[in-house]
Amino acid sequence: MQRLYPLKFREIFKEKVWGGNRMKGLLDKNYDPLPNCGESWELSAVEDYVSVVKNGFLQDNDLRELIEIYMGDLVGDKVFDLFGTEFPLLVKFLDTADYLSVQVHPDDAIAKERHGSQGKTEMWYVVDAQPGAEIIVGFSQEVDRQTFLKHLEQNTLRQILNIEKAKAGDVFFLPAGRIHAIGAGITLCEIQQSSDVTYRIYDWDRPGLDGKMRELHLDQALDVMDYKVQPSYKTAYEPRLNGQTSLVKNPYFTTNMLALDKAMEMDYFFLDSFVLYVCLQGGCNIEYPWGNETIKKGETILLPAEIKNVKLIPAGQCKLLETYIH
C-alpha cells in the first residue's frame, strides 16, 4: 500500500441568504456559478457533504472511505477508537453580507438524544472584517429564560446581547449553549465538532433564498442555552513569530497559531492524532520524510497521523491555524 501524504480536499461551496462575495479576492475561492458564497466547507464528513480528495494518488476518494481503509494511520489510533469512520471535525470559511440568524447549538448529550449527532462546540478566527462589523457572542448581562423571552417578544434582544466590534485576528470560542451571530462584512474560519445542528432563535424577519421565512427552533434553543454572562468572550493571545501560540484547547480540539517567516520543524511523535493546517496568510512548503506538499492562503491540509514530523518552509510571512485532537 502506498504511503499517506498531506491531503487537500475539494471545497463544498454554499450559497446563503446572508452570503457575501469576498472569498474570491480574499481566499482565492472560485465558487462560480453561485451568486454568493456564504460558506466554503474545507473539510467535512457530515452526511451528504463528505469531502473528496483533490491531490495525489488518492484523488476522488472521499474522507470516510479513506478512514475505513487507513484507520489509525490517517486519524490516529485514539481518534479512530473514539469516532470510528466518523471524522470528528468540520472546517469552514464563512463570508457575510448580512447577519446570520441569532442561534445556539446543543451539547453532545442533547444532540445525540434529539438528532443522533455530535454536539457543536466551535471557534472562530476572523480573517477580515470591514469597519464597524459586529459579532454577537453571549449575553452582556445576567438573564433568565423569562427575561430572554420578554426581550425576544419586544424585539429588544440587542439590549441583552454582548456585541463585539470585529477585527482581523480576533478569536472567539463558542462552547455549545452560547448564543451567537456573525454580523455583516466578516470573513472568518470556523473550526467545530462535526455537526450541522443549529437552533435558530431570531432571523431578522427576513425570508430565506426560497422567499419563505426560515424555520425557527425556539423551544429547542431555550433548553440548551447558557444564560450566564462571562467576563470576556474574546480569546486573548499574543502571537509568537516562529513559534506556536495556543488559541483554543478543549476536549474536542486544540487549535494553535503558527506565524513564521523562517523554516520551522514540527514534531508530532507524541500526538496520536491527525493535524489540520489552515493557511490564513502567505504560503509554505510542507516537507515530510517521504515527500513534500505546498499550502497557500485559503487552503486546508489534512496531515495524516502517521506523519510524525514535518518542516514548514514559508514563502515570506506565513500564518497557519494548526488543529488536532489531544
Which residues have a catalytic role annotated?
200
Alpha-carbon gap, residue 2 to 4, rounded angstroms: 7
Instruction: Output DSSP code: residue 158.
Output: G
**3-state SS assignment for residue 115:** helix
Largest CA distance in the chain: 63
Q: Which helix H or strand E contains 146, and what residues bound it?
A: helix 145-153
191 Cβ neighbours under 8 A, 6+ residues apart: 89, 90, 91, 122, 123, 125, 248, 253, 255, 276, 278, 321, 323
- Among candidates 221, 176, 216, which has minimal Cα distance to 195? 176
